[in-house]
């Protein structure tokens, strides 16, 4: 038997994993003390094998994950797998300035202390797997992003920076038609300001799908959409694996003239139309 234990941030995806036959669900409790501390618990958990599903989208979610790992051990689990659909702090995978932490390593070490295995879904840098002290694998959901796309006119799949080219190619391959292009991106570390340099690929009248791993503030994606619309593109779609969509990001995309925003359920947002459950189920079987 296997019991799936979701954190409060990852309940829909955990339900999809249960539907996919990965295990049965237990219902945790998520409480908060008057001083703000969280208390996640598993009052009905009774199994040897637990799969904790936790997108660590904020600091509370990190603590909830650590609490649930500890709670299932307290309740007798001998084998704990931790699935992290979205790894928070994954982009701070190096100390960019003197005195900074390698935050991804810090959280990975903490998560490793109470689990036997970790599965990440498309982290920002694959190298973060080395930061964990237990066997850690990657489930790739890139091939699923094209699912909602249909009837595109002479499509062009665009990576808003060189780091997203593979993702744009995989999405094009999954869609089955179209060309791939990418922009050069420079981001000022201190101000966060972004400068995008498009290539010369013709976009006038074509449907364009901009593909990135993360939409956080929406600066990168809305900048790309604006450039494409200025150049006379047809419909412009924004696709991402991890729809962080912080602050006014969703509005920025709308104001830039996006046709549709497509994201996965690694982070549960209104635009999370693609489920990564099949990719996680495959990775758990490996
Ligand atoms: C950066 O390398 C990532 O792939 C994304 O482009 C970035 O995280 C998006 O951030 P934002 O939405 O804040 O521009």
Q: Are strands 3-6 and 24-25 parallel, antiparallel or unpaired?
A: parallel
Q: Which H/E stretch holds residue 13?
A: helix 11-19
Q: Which tens digits make up the pLDDT trace of 83-120?
A: 999 999 999 999 999 999 999 999 999 999 999 999 99
d(CA 246, CA 38): 22
Provide the pLDDT for residue 198: 79
pLDDT-derived band at 200 (thresholds 50, 70, 90) equals confident
- Give residues (CB < 6 A) around ligand 1: 160-161, 163-164, 212-221
d(CA 162, CA 176): 22
Residue found under tokens 């003239």: 257
User: Comparing 116-120, 133-137, 197-201, 255-259, which segment has the lowest mean pLDDT?
Assistant: 197-201
Residue found under tokens 């909602």: 148
Provide the pLDDT for residue 54: 98
Distance from CA of residue 122 to its chain's centroid?
7
Mean pLDDT, the chain, rounded, equals: 96
Task: Give distance in angstroms: CA of 171 to centre of ligand 1.
Answer: 18
Atom of ligand 1 nearest to the CA of 219: 14
Residue 39: strand pairing partners = 31
pLDDT-derived band at 254 (thresholds 50, 70, 90) equals very high
Residue 236: strand pairing partners = 208
pLDDT-derived band at 185 (thresholds 50, 70, 90) equals confident
Task: Give distance in angstroms: CA of 107 to centre of ligand 1.
Answer: 20
Q: What is the mean pLDDT of residues 53-63?
A: 98
Above 90 in pLDDT, residue 199?
no
Read off the pTM: 0.95
| Sheet of strand 236-243, all strands in order from the earlier edge strand to the far edge | 179-182, 156-159, 208-215, 236-243, 260-264, 272-274
Above 90 in pLDDT, residue 156?
yes
Provide the pLDDT for residue 192: 83
Residue 200 near residue 148, CB atoms below 8 Å: no
> Considering 185, 206, 250, 252, which one is annotated as catalytic?
185
Task: Give distance in angstroms: CA of 213 to centre of ligand 1.
Answer: 8
Q: What is the mean pLDDT of residues 229-244?
A: 97
| Exposure of 99 in the CB half-sphere (CA atoms within 13 A) | 0
Above 90 in pLDDT, residue 201?
no
DSSP letters along 221-246, please?
A: HHHHHHHHHHTTBS-EEEEEEEE---
- Alpha carbon separation from 124 to 23, 91, 106, 214, 219 (Å, rounded): 28, 6, 16, 8, 17
DSSP conformation class of 204 = B
d(CA 284, CA 286): 6
Q: Annotated catalytic, 97?
A: no
């Amino acid at each position: 038997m296997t019991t799936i234990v979701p954190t409060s941030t990852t309940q829909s995806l955990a339900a999809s994993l249960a539907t996919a036959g990965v295990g049965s669900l237990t219902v945790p409790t998520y409480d908060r003390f008057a001083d703000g501390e969280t208390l996640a618990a598993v009052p009905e958990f009774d199994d040897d094998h637990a799969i904790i599903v936790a997108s660590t989208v904020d600091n509370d979610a990190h603590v909830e994950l650590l609490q649930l790992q500890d709670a299932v051990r307290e309740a007798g689990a001998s084998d704990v797998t931790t699935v992290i659909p979205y790894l928070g702090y994954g982009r701070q995978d190096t100390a960019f300035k003197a005195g900074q932490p390698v935050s991804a390593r810090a959280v990975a070490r903490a998560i490793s202390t109470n689990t036997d295995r970790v599965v990440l879904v498309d982290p920002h840098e694959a190298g973060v797997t080395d930061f964990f002290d237990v066997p850690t694998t990657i489930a790739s959901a890139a091939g699923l992003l094209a699912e909602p796309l249909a009837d595109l006119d002479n499509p062009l799949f665009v990576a808003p920076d060189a780091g997203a080219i593979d993702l744009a190619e995989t999405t094009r391959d999954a869609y089955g038609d179209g060309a791939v292009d990418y922009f050069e991106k420079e981001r000022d570390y201190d101000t966060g300001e972004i400068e995008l340099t498009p290539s010369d690929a013709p976009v006038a009248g074509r449907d364009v799908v901009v593909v990135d791993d993360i939409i956080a503030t929406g600066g990168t994606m809305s900048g790309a959409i604006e450039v494409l619309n200025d150049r006379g593109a047809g419909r412009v779609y924004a696709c991402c694996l991890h729809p962080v969509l912080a602050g006014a990001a969703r509005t920025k995309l709308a104001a830039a003239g996006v046709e549709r925003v497509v994201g996965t359920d690694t982070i549960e947002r209104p635009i999370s139309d693609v489920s990564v459950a099949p990719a996680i189920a495959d990775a758990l079987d490996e």
